[in-house]
Amino acid sequence: MADNYDVDELSALLIAGKRRALAKAITLIESKKPEHKKLAKRLLERILPRSGNSIRIGISGVPGVGKSTFIEAFGLYLIEKGHRVAVLAVDPSSQITGGSLLGDKTRMEELSRRNEAFIRPSPSGDSLGGVARRTREAIFLCEAAGYDIIIVETVGVGQSEISVSSMVDFFLLMQLPNAGDELQGIKRGVMEVADAIVINKADEENLQRAQLAKKQIENALSIFLNVDKSWKVPVILVSARYKKGIDEVYETISKYVKIKKKSGEFYKKRQQQSIQWMWSVVVEGLKEMLNENEQVRRFAKEMESAVINKLTTPSFAAENILSEFKNSVCRG
């Protein structure tokens, strides 16, 4: 029964690496019931000291680029190397469609049958902020359950890539070997957060096109101001279908982690991500509080029309709303 949670037992089973306990724990943290929130908090506080011991890898790309084919091949490769692999998904379409872009059950069939792998679809029916928050907590749970490689997959649309890049150590962007003037609509912001770019479907017969695409992407990358002196973003040719280039991806990530751990940046980045996460939850909470305050909401409506009618500027109106909120909190 999903409602029947014994946090002591659940955390013990989870720490012992039981997959069912991990799945149940994730269901608990995804629950919106107020009584579950308390239990989820206790569970997370219990397992938190055991979290963190993993490499967190974000993987993104448009639907059809070959993410699941790649993750299946990569996951099996990692298991052969002695790792335990958890795959989580952040699906920005889940809010509308119930997770159709990533939620297909037939994906990664071979990997999902392995004991050393744990695959979980995106939490659904929530805003991107909500999905991201729960995925971050699911990462902790997977780590406490002994998974030492955490893959967070997302689709190359909207804000989800930026959100995923802020919860992982290494962000991999997948591209198709399409040589052309336009760079497959790669958004500049996304390119800038990528730690490596994989050109998938670089099969034998596509190799020339893939090499051309590689050159183009390398050129595009070279125009960015390289702020990270210790890392040059590599472009790697992969054929997920024929399991080519998988070892190069593994070696690239291992090299990155080694460099960043040695310089201390690895840990600093994680600390910054945690602090940023904390503040984003504060800001979200404040917004909710503003929205739930009837008086402030009414006053905000007045301010909106004042802005539209040019009676005041947006920033003065915002200050007024904040003062109104402060006053109402003090009065309350």
- Contacts to ligand GDP by CB under 6 A: 61, 63-69, 200-201, 203, 239-241
The C-alpha atoms of residue 42 and residue 39 are separated, in whole angstroms, by 5
Closer to ligand GDP by Cβ: residue 46 or 244: 244
Closest contact distance (angstroms) between CB of 240 and ligand GDP is 4
Closer to ligand GDP by Cβ: residue 61 or 92: 61
Closer to ligand GDP by Cβ: residue 120 or 201: 201
Closest contact distance (angstroms) between CB of 120 and ligand GDP is 15
Beta bridge pairs of residue 86: 118, 150
Closer to ligand GDP by Cβ: residue 216 or 239: 239
The C-alpha atoms of residue 152 and residue 247 are separated, in whole angstroms, by 19
> Please, is 291 exposed, middle or buried when counting C-beta atoms within 10 Å of its C-beta (0-12, 13-18, 19+)?
exposed
Closer to ligand GDP by Cβ: residue 36 or 201: 201
Contacts of 102 (CB under 8 A, 6+ apart): 89, 91, 93, 121, 122, 153, 154, 155
β-pair type (117-120, 149-155): unpaired
Closer to ligand GDP by Cβ: residue 77 or 277: 77
**Which pair of structure tokens corresponds to residue 72?**
């299946």
The C-alpha atoms of residue 299 and residue 324 are separated, in whole angstroms, by 8
The C-alpha atoms of residue 66 and residue 200 are separated, in whole angstroms, by 7
Closest contact distance (angstroms) between CB of 43 and ligand GDP is 31
Closer to ligand GDP by Cβ: residue 58 or 66: 66
Closest contact distance (angstroms) between CB of 243 and ligand GDP is 9
The C-alpha atoms of residue 212 and residue 233 are separated, in whole angstroms, by 17
- The residue number whose beta carbon is nearest to ligand GDP equals 66
Closest contact distance (angstroms) between CB of 64 and ligand GDP is 5
- Return the H-helix or E-strand segment holding 119: strand 117-120
The C-alpha atoms of residue 312 and residue 303 are separated, in whole angstroms, by 8
Closest contact distance (angstroms) between CB of 301 and ligand GDP is 43
Closer to ligand GDP by Cβ: residue 66 or 121: 66
Closest contact distance (angstroms) between CB of 237 and ligand GDP is 10
Closest contact distance (angstroms) between CB of 299 and ligand GDP is 47
Closest contact distance (angstroms) between CB of 247 and ligand GDP is 15
β-pair type (149-155, 55-61): parallel
* CA dihedral for 40, 42, 45, 50, sign (positive or negative): negative
**Which pair of structure tokens corresponds to residue 43?**
């569970």
For the chain, how are helix, strand and coil distributed in percent, rounded to 5?
55, 10, 30
**Which pair of structure tokens corresponds to residue 216?**
């183009």
Closer to ligand GDP by Cβ: residue 133 or 201: 201
